Amino acid sequence: MSLKVKDIKKEMEEFAPTKLKESYDNVGLMVGDLNKEVTSILVALDCTKEVIEEAVEKKCNLILTHHPLLFRKPSSITGETLTGKKIMELIKNDISLYSAHTNLDAVEGGINDTLMGLLGFNEYITMELSSGKDLKDNKSGIGRLSVLDKDITLRDLCAKVKKVLKVPYVRYAGEESMTIKKVAVINGSGQDYFSLAKKMGADCIITGDTSYHYVSDFSEEDIGIIDAGHFGTEWPAFKVLAYMLEIKLQRMGFKNKVIVSERARDPYKIC
């Protein structure tokens, strides 16, 4: 029994249905043939040129990413654009590309839930339920809000986030000694949900991609902000889901390797 691209698509979309994606998003098979037999799968947050090179070197003919290479339909595919170069390189090397983005963020057991588990927040609710969810689904959506079992200071919560996510630093705003009882967590870029987090009574928001004025305003309202980066709040959880996919495939009788990229990296550097 051989594993095909359509089998991966089926497994991914049974777990994270595409109807859960945000309206602006594009998910699913970006490049490739559904009937193509899969050798090995390379998992990365982004489809960078380095990741494509890694797939070629490791003989992986399917790349599974969180962020889609194509958000919008390109008017052309040429070597004059970065996206065009990547698509041409994928086709040249007969590599398929599948992306699960906001649907994987939103679904129960997906990126946001996995991040909550890594941080040790076991009891929580969803901040904004997905418009595409089933009627009986009260969990799929963007953001999670947790009432902590034990209060924690902002200083200690920063240290915990940094340690658990294995990031070199976190940016934060707020008094280090402030007491945190209720935490909102939005993986990736969560700034658009700051007002909702405040309305729901969050003392602190953990996310990435924050900007000066947002952080300044909410900090003035005594809400702690911890920015662990877009990459930092997604890659650790995405790797966990990659391991889960490999286990699932093994249980189905497939022996294909699911390889976590060694070249997936945060584009930001520190000095």
Confidence band of 239 (pLDDT split at 50, 70, 90): very high
Residues 130-158 as b/e (b if ≥16 CB within 10 A, e otherwise) read bebbeeebebbbbbbbbebeeebbbbebb
**What is the pTM (predicted TM-score) of this model?**
0.95
Query: Would you say residue 1 has pLDDT above 80?
Result: no
Q: Give the Cα separation of 185 and 208 in Å (integer).
A: 10
- Annotated binding-site residue? 156: no
pLDDT mean over 236-258: 96
Q: Give the Cα separation of 240 and 112 in Å (integer).
A: 12
Q: What is the pLDDT of residues 41-64, one digit of tens each?
A: 999 999 999 999 999 999 999 999
Enumerate domains of the chain plus CATH numbers. Answer: 5-104+235-260 (3.40.1390.30), 108-227 (3.40.1390.30)
Exposed / middle / buried, residue 194 (Cβ in 10 Å: 0-12, 13-18, 19+): buried
pLDDT mean over 36-44: 98
Look at residue 222 and give its three-state secondary structure.
Answer: coil
In the chain, % of residues over pLDDT 70: 100
Closest CA to 261 of 94, 5, 45, 2: 45
Q: Do the strands 179-189 and 171-173 form a parallel or antiparallel pair, or are they unpaired?
A: unpaired
- Annotated binding-site residue? 213: no
pLDDT, position 13 = 98
- Annotated binding-site residue? 203: no
Token pair 């953990």 is found at 206
Contact at 8 Å (CB) between 97 and 26?
Answer: no
- Annotated binding-site residue? 234: yes
Q: pLDDT averaged over the chain?
A: 96
Q: What is the pLDDT of residues 74-97, one digit of tens each?
A: 888 999 999 999 999 999 999 999
Q: What is the pLDDT of residues 145-178, one digit of tens each?
A: 999 999 999 999 999 999 999 999 999 999 999 9
Task: Show Cβ contacts of residue 202 under 8 Å, excluding neighbours closer than 6 positions.
Answer: 145, 182, 183, 184, 223
- Annotated binding-site residue? 66: yes
Query: Would you say residue 215 has pLDDT above 90?
Result: yes
pLDDT, position 87 = 97
